[in-house]
Structure 1
Amino acid sequence: MIKYKHRLIENRLSELFEYYPVVAVLGARQVGKSTLVENLFSGKISSTVFDPVMDIGNARQDPDFFLQNITPPAFFDEVQYAPELLNSIKRNVDQEKKNGMYLLSGSQNLSVLRDISESLAGRVAILNLWPMSYGEVNEKPGGRFLEQWLSEPEKQDFSDTGTGRPVFDTIWKGGYPRISELPDTLIPGYWQSYMQTYIERDVRKVANIGSLQTFGRFIGLLGALTSQEINYNQLGRELGIARNTARSWIETAESTFQWLSIPAFSRNPVKRISGKNKGYFTDTGMICNLQKISSPDVIASHPLQGALFETFVVMEIVKLIQKRPIQPNLYHFRSHSGAEVDLILELDGRLYPVEIKSKSNPARKDIRGFQAFKDCFPKENIQKCLVVCAVPSLRYIKEDVLAVPWWCL
């Protein structure tokens, strides 16, 4: 029996279900949405899993009759396969006027969100569930340092940094729950099955893709572009597709939670800075599979090592902030002269810059982007800068720049 590993958003999910009639948990297929709900509400909630082919309980054909035979609280898994149900849920919620009635899950952000926002506006709370964080995989609490940095940036706790961790194994396996239980020899087979199901079910449902085979090549190419600004013209040329098609396919990858786009930070469109989105694959294990990286040992000398580490850290931060009631906005920065800041968090009128380096000894030459960012935006309230890396313990590179071990986040 596979052991359940607790998720960072458990407390938030429980709280929202107490105060909202409907809560939707959205995320990629097999990230653990149904497992989370079933363990958190074990014995307290009925469960129905919808199917893209079969009309379970005639929910699509007669959603009102289906709901009449379901006593809340109820969990409807993969609700994108029964969107007809949402208007019936709305009517029930408006009639009963109770909280904690329905939990929904879905693996297709675009279609599910559109249906939910139209049918359940003001009645639903939405949570995203990503692949497991490092702390979730290893059953260790995480996020204390990050939370303190965001809430009290002038105070940092240097007392508990632990010891160094082998990051390449974590990057190679990624955060999908099933993979954490598999021996390394079975992981490639898992990904082969996953990608086939993802393209044939999720992608076909969300978008009108002319060639699923070409889309599969597109996903493989995106894996090589993680942590880069995206040039749609170049992407289209590589695959022989139009620029607009490349843009549409990235939106499809986003809507199915495989890709995360982070906009460029800018207060003034006249300034000479890049306005392109930066993109990240949401799981490093999937990238390693797409790029045919056969083992963790290969990563150290692989051309994508830096991009993989940056992707891993960015997604760790994305996962950790999910448990906050108010989540920071995320941006990146790049000037036309090439100065960069990998990630900028914006919260309460303050900016928190983050640079990510796959090294254990970051130096001043690695933090030039921070000064360029400050020079570009001198009136902004910019807080202490972080360099997330493999440094053995927290240390200052300069007065306002702190090097942080990635495992301390």
Structure 2
Amino acid sequence: MKYRTRIIEKKVIELFGHFPVVAVLGVRQVGKTTLVEHLPIPGLKSVVFDPVQDVMGARSDPDLFLQNQPRPLFLDEIQFAPELLPAIKREVDRKRKAGLFIISGSQNLMVHKQVAESLAGRVAIVHLLPMSWCELSAVSPVPGLLERLVFEGPEFFRRKQPPSGQPPGIFRAMWRGGMPGTLDLPDHLLHDFFSSYFQSYVERDVRTSAAVSSLQQFGRLFGLLAALTSGQTNHNKLGRELGIDRKTAKAWVEIAISTFQWFELPAYSRNPVKRVASKPKGYISDTGMACYLQRLGSADALAASPLAGAMFETYVVLEIMKRSAAWPVRPGMFHFRTHVGAEIDLVLELNGVLHPVEAKLTTNPRRRDCRAFDSFRAVFPEARVGLGFVVCCCEQPFFLRPDTVA
């Protein structure tokens, strides 16, 4: 498989030149190892850890292990050797120099108290998501349309824009998803890939959790999450569907979050406001996985599914997350919903300015698609609200109204 440049690559290199430790985190098989091994870092040695074997005694004697390894050092899947982290901390504190370690993991290391204390202030964290459209298409990762609109505003329309390439058919892009392992697979083998992937995820990442008493039930929960992507997370409802209590459902969702398979956006609120719904919205990390879990066997099946709109919103939010990961400052990401039904899919907060974003699976956006933007401004009259965006399938960007671009 030919290597595809990742958007985040340049940032990882830059961070490694200024931090003693860089952590590359993300779901299993998302390309963390491949990314790091393609970085132009002279002499970088790799060690891959295993959940069963104590590789080179790293768990039993972490200090001795580190003494016998060169620098710089890439420690892959370090969640299987967490005993190394205090030893890494001691070396970092002693040497006080950049470019010592790159670590990777398919679990959120910072949720563990010991790990958080060991790495706090010493590590730069990069989250690697499944591949974006430009990565899959091998298109040079120039600043994207949304990025330019956020930073340039209306000035964008006064400049001659270079062609950015035509995206693939949207339903096929959503149906295949962005996992690197699917790049060279024909469509008819995607089901086999995701079946194997999901089994490996449950067996390797979930089985070790004491909170999961039934792997079969956890698999059912994950299927429910896929059906609920881009909706508000309701632990009570999940528990009722599975015959488990709310506390257990919440703990299992947190496992999906800590392994980067699921993420949540909080509701936007400057202060606790009763008019604003406070439940987070949840998203699966790859639309291809969601389609597999919902047994959607083709792009045409997805196009005809009632889940198409939710999948499109998920796809849009994921693309924005992937592109913004390389920005100098990552924007805050929220959702907005009032108890009377006004709803905005995504609110970006950057440099003190808020940008409402709606995802609409249409080639013909209308002014009514951004009506909730007015409700948002009414709830937060003192906020600085910049350009709003209706992300859709139109061929060229244009103003829906003076404060909103489609």
TM band (smaller chain): over 0.9
Q: Is the 8 A contact 2:211 2:251 kept in 1?
A: no
- What is residue 95 of structure 2 aligned with on the other side? 96
Partners of 1:49 and 1:298 lie apart in 2 by 39
Shift of 1:196: 0.8
- For 2:114 and 2:315, locate their aligned partners in 1 and report how far apart those are by CA, in whole Å: 31
Residue 108 to residue 40, structure 1, CA distance change in 2 (3 Å):
same
Q: Give the percent of matched residue pairs that are identical in Structure 1 and Structure 2.
A: 51
| Aligned residue number for residue 39 of structure 2 | 40
Give the SS at the match of 1:181. Answer: coil
Q: Amino acid of the residue matched to residue 285 of structure 1? A: G
SS of residue in 2 equivalent to 1:221: helix
Q: Deviations over 1:214-271 (max 9, x none)?
A: 0000000100000001111111101101111111111111100011100011123234
Counterpart among 332, 344, 348 of residue 347 in structure 2: 344
User: Which one of 255, 259, 264 corresponds to residue 256 of structure 1?
Assistant: 259
In structure 2, relative to structure 1, the CA distance for the partners of 1:173 and 1:371 (3 Å cut) is: same
Unaligned runs of 5+ in 2: none
Are positions 1:221 and 2:220 aligned together?
Answer: no
Distance 1:59 1:381 in 2: 51
Letter in 2 for 1:50: F
Q: Is the 8 A contact 1:161 1:393 kept in 2?
A: no
SS in 2 for 1:80: helix
Residue 294 of structure 1, CA deviation: 0.3
- Output aligned runs, 1:46-125, within 5 Å: 46-110=45-109, 114-125=113-124
Deviates more, 1:217-226 or 1:394-403: 394-403
Flag the 1:153–1:207 CA change in 2: closer, same or farther, 3 A. farther
The answer to whether 1:374 aligns with 2:371 is: no
CA distance in 2, matches of 1:120, 1:277: 28
Structure number with greater CO (CA < 8 Å, separation at least 6) is: 1
Superposed, 1:225-304 pairs within 5 Å as 225-304=228-307
SS in structure 1 opposite 2:211?
A: coil
Q: Answer yes or no: is the 8 Å Cα contact 1:207–1:252 preserved in 2.
A: no
- Shift in alpha-carbon separation, 1:93–1:163, aligned structure 2, 3 A: closer
Consecutive aligned runs of 4 or more in structure 1 exceeding 3 Å deviation: 110-116, 160-165
Aligned ranges 1:192-203 → 2 under 5 Å: 192-203=195-206
Q: Is the 8 A contact 2:51 2:80 kept in 1?
A: yes
Give the C-alpha shift of residue 122 in structure 1: 1.6
Mapped partners of 1:161, 1:191: distance in 2: 30
* SS of structure 1 residue aligned to 2:129: coil
RMSD of Structure 2 on Structure 1 (CA): 1.5
Secondary structure of the structure 1 residue equivalent to 2:70: coil
The normalised TM-score by structure 2 is 0.96
8 Å contact 1:22–1:104 — kept in the other structure? yes
Write out per-residue CA displacement over residues 278-308 of structure 1, whole angstroms, 9 at most, x where no aligned residue: 0100100000000000011111110100000
Amino acid at match of 1:139: A
Q: Provide structure 1 residue ranges, at least 5 long, that are not aligned to the other structure.
A: 404-409
Return the alpha-carbon distance in structure 2 between the equivalents of residues 67 and 260 of structure 1.
34
Q: Which amino acid aligns with 1:150?
A: V
Rounded Cα–Cα distance in structure 2 between residues aligned with 1:238 and 1:349: 41
1:317 aligns with 2:317: no
